Structures are given as structure tokens and as C-alpha cells.
Amino acid sequence: MGGTSLNNYSPSQAAFLGGFVGTIFISVCIFAVIYYIIFIIAYWKILVKAGEKGWKALIPFYNVYMMYKIVKMKSWFWYLIGMSICAEIMMLADGYPYGVNASQMATFDPVTHPMTAIAIAMISFVSLIAMVIYVYRTSKVFGHGNLFAAGLFFFPYIFLLILGFGKSDYNKKRLKK
């Protein structure tokens, strides 16, 4: 049959393996929670710099809306939400189920599911354009240039921490220049 099952290990070896895997899992979970808390604090500080209430960073979905709002892209946020809903409807109408897994995507045939292919292409293209504009505008309102925008695009987690914890100041008038 190939492969190894836990039946091939002694009880002490299986206990050690289980303890090791459990320790790794717990460590990753703790790291993820700490990382998430740090980002909530960074988003809080970014919103406060922009003159918004910091608690708005605590609410999922709303915190993203607030980030789009401070860079004057509220309409883009709603367009992206609307396009996501339309893309999902197109995929469902095409008979492609929501929540496909990696193996289903690996065998995806655009000829068999043309509406799904169009939906995926549409939302991917528009999301990419929106992200480029968003990071550029975010960089600009906080007094940074194109290089910082590129950093926000390619390494958002690092550069959002720089915005939140750094000395960047918010000025919406920078968007008019």
C-alpha cells in the first residue's frame, strides 16, 4: 500500500510525534494571533492619523471600507463588492460551484465553463487595477512616493506597519497634486 500509518510507530513514538505536531500547531496559532493584533493596532493608528475613530479597525469588512474611504476610493470599494457578487452569480449560472478546491481549479476547463473564465478574468483584472490605484493613493496621502507605493503593493504587511507605527502624516490634499 505504501505510506506510513501511526500503527507502525510505538506508543512513545506516536506520543512524541503528536506532541511535536501539536506544539508546532499551537506555536503557529499563537504567532498568527499576535500578528493579527499587531495589524489591528497598525490599522487603528492609520485610521487615527486619517482623523477617523480607531475602533473602526476592529470590525472586519468595515475596516477595509474605511481604508478605501481615507484614500477617497469609496466607490471603488463598492464596485469591487458588486463585481465579486456578479462574478459569483456568473460562476453559479455556469454550473461552477462556490468554494472550489485546488484540484478542481487545476482541472478547470475554460471551454466547458466560459462564464466562469470570464468572471475570474474580470474580477482579477479589475482587482489588480484597483489595488494599484489604492496603494498609490495610500502612499500619496501619507506623504510617500512611488517607491513606497510599490512596497505597499508587493509587501503590504511590512509597509502598513510602517504607515501605522512610523511618522507618516495623513493629508488628503496631497491627492489633488
Residue 43 resides in a domain: yes
Q: What is the mean pLDDT of each run of 10 residues along the chain (177 residues)?
A: 63 83 92 91 94 94 94 94 86 72 73 82 91 96 96 93 93 85
Considering the domain boundaries, does residue 87 fall inside one?
Answer: yes
Buried b (16+ CB within 10 A) or exposed e, 55-91: ebbeeeeebeebbbbbbebeebbeebeebeeebeebb
What does the pLDDT read at residue 154? 96
Q: Residue 60 CA to chain centroid, in angstroms?
A: 11
Name the residue range of residue 99's domain. 9-176
pLDDT at res. 3: 54
pLDDT at 88: 81
The tally of domains found in the chain comes to 1
